[in-house]
Chain A
């Protein structure tokens, strides 16, 4: 069964610091990858997605992620975080042909002023 690992469970950064959140997936075949964000008390929103093509994916709010097939990774990055980026971030994968999202355990990001 496929799995998704997020190694950073809690991250605390100061405003303007750079962010990188790790995500590794286990499936070796065709895989679609996502990053979702959950702001406090709110529902999940899609930040970005990778299906194929350019491995560097740009999403909303200045986020980007890089798909590295050889490392089974899809790390999320942002060059300069803001206080409003405080949220829970989830990496997820979807195997080809299916609709079943498998989520990582999430990373809680706190951005301090």
Chain B
């Protein structure tokens, strides 16, 4: 039983393309997150949604647009991909106020 799942696991694409990464959690949590892990393994939060409402929006280019159709799903759409977008993107979920976050397996995005 996968708690937090992401698709795809690997994504290789060319500069300028638009791509989406999907995340689903079956933990019944009401808050979901996107993190970016760069080539030096540094993890930084990008967005967070609570009950489909955006609550954290870090300094991220507006080419990145999160969408939460319901509280179990949080997708990340990236327009006009750039080389610097290459990273591993992790989705996570938690119950708001519970603090412990559960992470998905990550999506390795490579932009060529």
> Do A and B make up one complex?
yes
By a beta-carbon cutoff of 8 Å, the part of chain A in contact with chain B is 32, 34, 36, 38, 42-46, 49, 51, 88, 90, 94, 99-103, 105-106, 108
Number of contact residues on B: which range applies?
20 to 34
A67 CB → nearest B CB, Å: 15
**Which among B41, B42, B101, B104 is the interface contact of A101 at CB below 8 angstroms?**
B101
Verify B43–A103 contact, CB threshold 8 A. yes
Q: Report Cα–Cα, A45/B103, bound state, in Å.
A: 7
> Nearest chain B CB to A97's CB is how many angstroms away?
9
Chain A residues lying within 8 Å of B43, measured Cβ to Cβ, are 44, 90, 103, 106
Q: How far is the CA of A34 from the CA of B103 in the complex (A)?
A: 14
Tell whether B1 is near chain A: CB-to-CB under 8 Å: no
B→A interface (CB under 8 Å): 4, 31, 33, 40-45, 48, 50, 55-56, 90, 94, 96, 99-106
Closest to B44 in A: A103
A102 contact set on B, CB distance < 8 A = 45
Q: Are A49 and B90 in contact (CB under 8 A)?
A: no
The 12 sampled A-B contact pairs (Cβ below 8 Å) are: A34-B100, A36-B103, A44-B43, A46-B101, A90-B43, A99-B55, A100-B45, A100-B48, A103-B42, A103-B44, A105-B40, A105-B41
